[in-house]
Amino acid sequence: MRYLNRNSLTVIFCALMFSILSGCSGKNDSPLYLESNRKGGTADAPVKDVPTDILATQKAFSNISKKVTPCVVNISTISRKKLVQPFFEMNPLFEDFFGAPQTRRDKSLGSGFLISKDGYIVTNDHVVRDAESVQVKLSNDKVYDAKVVGGDAKSDIAVIKINVTDLPVAVLGDSDKLDVGQWAIAIGNPFGLDRTMTVGVISATGRSNMGIETYENFIQTDASINPGNSGGPLLNVYGEVIGINTAIVAAGQGLGFAIPINMAKPIFSQLIQKGSVSRGYMGVTIQPMTEDLANSFGLKSTRGALVNDVLKGSPADKAGIKQGDVITALNGAEVKDPAQLQRQVAEAGIGKTVKVTVIRDGKAVELGMVLGNADSAPKKQREAGGGRQHGGEGDRLGLVVEESGLDEGVVVADVVRGGPAAEAGLRSGDLIISINRKRISNVAEYDRALGSSRSGNLTILVRRGNASIYFALRVK
């Protein structure tokens, strides 16, 4: 048998490798990846016929980003906050032994948008509140120091300014014409990520009673809003600013809230002009109309604001508004609830004459009123009634009352647990002023009023501290 030597094996191996490599380089080999022919490759796009409306929408969003992003700024602040020492802080000798309280420097981020070529910027008040220093970064990455022109905590709106000219300016839209389902675009600085754009829809308008600010009329959107978006613009498909992104619900997704731009305009205009905000004032305390209260007042709707007290000498007092009136319209605009009336009066203007429509004894009455200045309104302290609820005998309302020692009303001495009064929210220490809108001065008048009342809804006016409150009780 003949054996191949080492040199022969080497030659054979090289020949085989050459043959294999030659086969791999053939023209029919598959490429490593496919590249679209829209970029010069040979492969067709997976979807050839994209609907024109989708392409148009995509183009519209891109155009909004290009046009509006230069108007959006990133805001960074540094503030100094006191470190809390719970155990020692209440001791008056703490500073004598340990010196001044320690503080820490906090950094925060937010957004804003330019409203003038000379550097006025609108943002949220909570973004710049208590800031020692404020810096603004423009879309061209230039950074400038800014000063706070003014802030309004009640609406969470602030204005800051940088000393730069010839700046791009945002265009303000009309937030009163928004419909649920319209596109909503947010641009801002979430988590420090510059010039982030998110898209969603208008989820709702007129959101109030959220417990976020004093004056609330929020636009709700599912466009993603995250920490750092605060103060940035909410836009429509025209690139117009329709709101100021303000708050999110941390426990939910797609729940963002923006201040309507029409509500914001008079506020930041005042901040620029004088550094503060003044609001109109009526001089009434009001409460919502519940279904039970509406029935007891003989009304078919729960819309409106129930006047539970009128301050003497106030614009409302001079105009003839009375306790028990239900305010249903201001200057012809319907009043849905107390929060809306509060906003309407605040925005109407100091010294302006307004027409107030009230329901009194089942009839509509129109009154003229000159609004005062809320800054000069007397401060009323609202104290809760004292005492505690416990078991005991009571009348058909579940109350034990006694003489007040005053010229009006009776004092609630006890509230029977589980009775109609307890369920409605009456407390020991409350002063009952009237029953079914009839004034009472003593226990005898209280007993007569209660004895003559029929089964069903009963309306009781209570004074608790300095506040007057109507209650609707269901009695048998």
Measured CA to CA, the distance from residue 225 to residue 247 in angstroms comes to 8
The secondary structure of residue 165, as a DSSP letter, is -
| Tokens matching residue 93 | 């000798």
Cβ atoms of 215 and 154 closer than 8 Å: yes
Instruction: Write down the H helix ranges in 275-419.
Output: 291-296, 315-319, 338-348
| Tokens matching residue 40 | 């010069």
What type of residue sits at position 135?
Answer: Q
| Tokens matching residue 55 | 């392409």
DSSP of 216-247: --EEEE-S---TT-TTPEEE-TTS-EEEEEEE
Burial class (CB in 10 A: 0-12, 13-18, 19+), 214: middle
Q: What is the distance of C-alpha 315 from the center of its chain? A: 28
Q: Give the residue among 139, 143, 112 at the shortest CA–CA distance from 127.
A: 112
- For residue 126, the tally of other CB atoms under 10 A from its CB is 20
Q: Which residues pair with 74 in a beta bridge?
A: 111, 137
Angle at the Cα of 201 from the Cα atoms of 174 and 254, rounded to 5 degrees: 125
Phi, psi of 281, deg, nearest 5: -150, 130
Which positions are annotated as active-site residues?
126, 156, 230
Measured CA to CA, the distance from residue 305 to residue 287 in angstroms comes to 6
